[in-house]
Amino acid sequence: MGVPISQMWTVARYVLTQKLKGKKRYPLVLMLEPLFRCNLACAGCGKIQYPAHILKQNLTPEQCFSAVEECGAPMVSIPGGEPLLHPQIKEIVEGLVARRKYIYLCTNALLLKEKIDLFKPSKYLTFSVHLDGEKEHHDFSVCREGGFDIALEGIKEAVKRGFRVTTNTTLFDGTDPVSVRRFFDQMMEVGVEGMMLSPGYSYEKAPDQEHFLGRAKTRTLFGTILSNRNKKWRFNQSPLFLEFLMGRRSYVCTPWGMPTYNVFGWQKPCYLLQDGYADTFSELLSQTQWEKYGAESGNSKCANCMVHSGYEASAVDDTFGSLRGFLATVRATVFGGTYANASALEALEQTVESRPGRLVELKVTATRRVPRETADAQDMSSPQS
């Protein structure tokens, strides 16, 4: 299993409590962005395209703790930007561990070996390392040669020291499914606790707009990758969400399931879209027009979205909202399964024959101008390759 029993029990108890209280909308994971600054400039990212004065801002530990307590979700994901660049990330993590929140500190791991002494192993802390596949593919997608090797060394060091470590992989149109499956094998050999997957979302500000997946392509790609799977693979996600990506299930988006708090406040409506901000979490829940979001709403911004921040909460709700969903989750979690699929196997074989080692070309252009202050900060904080 890719998720510890103690964490599964905490989440199960929390969700059942919300349902017994009759709450229709409740958060599952708080997406806490303490900064937008990063030491990478990935072509598919829409989180770092801010002016220099915004990139210099950080949430204080007190602001982070207040948001966590106000939200009440049992899990906290700390994305960015690169959280390890935050000057008080140690205090933030220690405060959340003390509050017994399950933390996923999302990092590209370029600074992980350098910063790891700031942290202590805990069942509440997981380093979620962003790796977009095998070495050549990952380095190309993050626009940083040698990035994979640095991240891998960070992962090995964290595993060696007894930290919980997962990987977080975003897949785009043109991804080689054979390469991704080899990457899964490699991560299991390294000893990560589990892997997380999601299709890329078409951020409006992302420099590359040509390689985001539509819904049909998402189902085809994930169906090919996740069918006929190696039983040694462990995923740190709801198995029903993975089945959703494979086209085996249909879900309606739960945009309030993973609310976002950052330097601007509570982001409406979700982690991926910016349609204004609320001053409080209760205002976010009560005043956001939720019916305007999700693929079923007709909102063009949501048309192709199948990402975890919108649909994994839907899968978790299905687990505890129906007997069928609960039994399907138990079966997949306890007994696993290969998801045998002859068509998917044939597609893998055709991939090997027709385009071995094909890279996804993200076509990064020189049109994006990085403010001088940002470039200086990146140069000072990036380890030398």
**Over the stretch 296-310, which tens digit does the pLDDT of each residue have?**
898 988 888 898 889
Tokens 């210099």 found at: 56
Asked if the model's pLDDT at residue 174 lies above 60, the reply is: yes
Separation CA 105–CA 77 (nearest Å): 6
Asked if the model's pLDDT at residue 375 lies above 70, the reply is: no
> Which residue from 33, 122, 126 is spatially nearest to 82, judged by alpha carbons?
33
Return the C-alpha torsion angle 124, 129, 132, 138, nearest 10: -170
| Confidence class for position 201, pLDDT limits 50, 70, 90 | low
Domains held by the chain: number = 1
Do the beta carbons of residue 133 and residue 95 sit within 8 Å?
no
Model pLDDT, residue 51:
86
Do the beta carbons of residue 308 and residue 196 sit within 8 Å?
yes
Separation CA 42–CA 362 (nearest Å): 10
Model pLDDT, residue 358:
46
**Over the stretch 341-365, which tens digit does the pLDDT of each residue have?**
999 999 999 887 765 444 444 433 3
Residues spanned by the domain of 108? 5-381
Kindly report the pTM of this predicted structure.
Answer: 0.87
Do the beta carbons of residue 254 and residue 310 sit within 8 Å?
yes
**Over the stretch 209-232, which tens digit does the pLDDT of each residue have?**
444 567 888 999 999 999 999 999
SS3 label, residue 292: helix
Give one DSSP letter per residue of 252-286, joined into a string: ---TTSS-EEETTEEEEE-SS-EEEEESSHHHHHH
> How much of the chain is helix, strand and coil, in % rounded to 5?
45, 10, 45
Outline where DSSP puts E strands in 28-87: 29-32, 75-78
Do the beta carbons of residue 82 and residue 56 sit within 8 Å?
no
Tokens standing for residue 8: 């599964």
What is the residue-averaged pLDDT of the chain?
Answer: 87
Q: What is the DSSP letter of 383?
A: P
Q: For residue 178, give the CATH number of its domain.
A: 3.80.30.10
- 277 pairs with which residues across the strands? 267
